[in-house]
Structure 1
């Protein structure tokens, strides 16, 4: 198996609401839409998929529920601390749940978090050195 990820799929309670958040609020462009699913190209060979919970469970199996947050975060790295603050502000404007303002982290970076309409956590980060060199596209 090649070392790569093709899709990241989130089971969401309301595909329309999630589409509104990511497409209208954050300005992302859908690649494919069908009843119960929206797929957004987020990399050269990577799709981000929003899938209706009931259809997700039908194919994948029951979703674990309970208190607390889902033990998963997604990150969007940018080239500067100013960009971190700007993306967090744009997410808040789009209706994101504020989780934490950006701060300098013990690992040397600068990051903050927001939650999407289903509570999935997004880290917006500027990481030092090799991490950002790998994950931030060159302009």
Structure 2
């Protein structure tokens, strides 16, 4: 049996339109199946769902949810330190809050962190010990 494949990540957001604009600036495309209070952003092999936070709380049945990502981070890996730097700069220009500018990491790579407009933590990284396939996906086989 194969492990479950993550196909969709949902982020609770305060302002769906603002979040759509932010993620479009980073290269995601809004699906035509989106709605005013829920947008589906198309990535390469994954969908990022931007769901109005109040609606997400009401649907989840667990009461209030903290904003941001808590102890989880989303990550995008790149083929070079220069690509990391360029994407980080693009995110900041689009409205991300800088957390840690890209720099040489203790583990030998190059990485940095930012928070999206709703506080979700993202890491951008180049790992020289990982292979990237021709489509830009991490290949750990």
| More helix, by proportion | 1
Aligned-CA RMSD value: 2.4
Hey, what's the Cα distance between the residues in 2 that align with 1:83 and 1:60? 37
Hey, what's the Cα distance between the residues in 2 that align with 1:136 and 1:85? 16
Q: Secondary structure at the match of 2:34?
A: strand
Hey, what's the Cα distance between the residues in 2 that align with 1:34 and 1:137? 29
Instruction: Tell me which residue corresponds to 1:60.
Output: 60
Q: Secondary structure at the match of 1:108?
A: coil
Instruction: Tell me which residue corresponds to 2:38.
Output: 37
Instruction: Tell me which residue corresponds to 1:129.
Output: 129
Q: 1:69 to 1:40 in 2, by over 3 A?
A: closer
Moved over 6 A (4+): none
TM-score, normalization by structure 2 = 0.84
For residues 19-34 of structure 1, the aligned pairs below 5 Å read 19-23=20-24, 25-31=25-31, 32-34=33-35
Q: CA deviation at 1:34?
A: 0.9
Instruction: Tell me which residue corresponds to 2:91.
Output: 91
| Contiguous gaps of at least 5 residues in structure 1 | none
Q: CA deviation at 1:132?
A: 4.4
Q: CA deviation at 1:69?
A: 5.9
Hey, what's the Cα distance between the residues in 1 that align with 2:102 and 2:58? 38
Instruction: Tell me which residue corresponds to 2:13.
Output: 12
Q: CA deviation at 1:120?
A: 0.6
Q: CA deviation at 1:35?
A: 2.5
Q: CA deviation at 1:130?
A: 2.9
Q: CA deviation at 1:91?
A: 0.8
Q: CA deviation at 1:113?
A: 0.8
